[in-house]
Structure 1
Amino acid sequence: MNIQDAAHKTVHDYPGGSVSLAPRMGMSPAILRNKVNPNNSTHHLTVAEADELMGLTGDHRILHALAAEHGYTLQRSDAPDAGSLIQGMLAAAAGQGDLAHIVQEAMADGRITPNEVIAIERACTTIQHVLAHVAKHAAAAARQAVPA
């Protein structure tokens, strides 16, 4: 998803859309709609407004789209989810199995379509997310093992 589409969806998928969000951002609903309209060339969402929009909605598609545009993927840096290191490793292994299945199906006809690329990218991102949590579990376990 590109950055403009992400901004548009962030506003329009929010309950109440621009009518609910715009007053919280100090602008009219029409201005906000224009700023996130991919077909509008006169109004633009500023970086500060995009940041505020993500903070208000809890929707970070703009951030992910911006990162993807530059070849990056993002990972939250909060504490690991509940669970154990072993559960994390099992989830990673399951994700790798899912990825292998997706690639196998994509290659069945000898070519990979754009939709199949999206499915492969999503599966890879999921595995990266799970592996980041495995690393966080390991770091948390190491901190607990070190005497104060």
Structure 2
Amino acid sequence: MSKRWPTSRDRAEREILPLNLSLYHAARDYPGGGKAIAAVYGVPATTLQHRLNPNADTHKLTVDDLEYVLEATRDPRILDSLLSLVPGAHWFEYQEATNDSSEQQLMESVAEMSSRVSDLLSRISEHRKDGVYTSGEVSELKKLKGQLISALQGLLVSAQRFDGESSHG
């Protein structure tokens, strides 16, 4: 039985991609694709699509293109790619307080972090079976580590909110 080679879509879901590929996948997955993003920001659709094409050597992405795609899609793969360039940097998307009680938010944050710990440990265990880590496996583990750190940050914010309410209430 042969092992199936991962498609670019598989890699986009599991690994931290280079910035040009994360922008390409984010735009491709956006409703209407690159054309819709171009329409929102009033830029030529063909130009943006050529710049997003990872196989087009003659067209290069600009900082404005990065801004358009990130703002329109809010795709976490782009932030993963950007912050992978800075060792030890991780991002966390702050969620405003909702109508849920802080205790409920705290419990959901604990559950999220526990799930991320479980995901990371399961993948480490699976990858260690053959005693060799491939570059794809290392990239996947780095992504899972970043998601765990983000979940931990979410837990800390929830705990601070809960402490603030319980000490004042």
Q: TM-score, normalised by structure 2?
A: 0.72
Structure 1 match to 2:165: 144
Structure 2 match to 1:50: 66
Q: Alignment length, in residue pairs?
A: 148
Aligned with 1:118 (options 139, 154, 161): 139
Gaps of 5+ in 1: none
Gaps of 5+ in 2: 1-16
Structure 1 match to 2:79: 63
Q: Deviations over 1:26-70 (max 9, x none)?
A: 222210112212233443332233212222223243232111122
| Moved >6 Å (runs of 4+) | none
Structure 1 match to 2:148: 127
2:105 and 2:158 in contact (8 A); partners too: yes
Q: TM-score, normalised by structure 1?
A: 0.80
Structure 2 match to 1:100: 121
The answer to whether the aligner puts 1:76 opposite 2:93 as a matched pair is: yes
Tell me which amino acid in the other structure corresponds to 2:41: M
Structure 2 match to 1:14: 30
1:106 and 1:116 in contact (8 A); partners too: yes
CA distance in 2, matches of 1:11, 1:127: 26
CA distance in 1, matches of 2:47, 2:108: 47
* Bigger relative contact order (CA 8 A; separation at least 6): 2
Percent identical across equivalent pairs? 22
CA change 1:98–1:31 in 2 (3 A) is closer
Out of 72-81 and 131-140, give the one that drifted further: 72-81
1:2 and 1:69 in contact (8 A); partners too: no
1:80 and 1:136 in contact (8 A); partners too: no
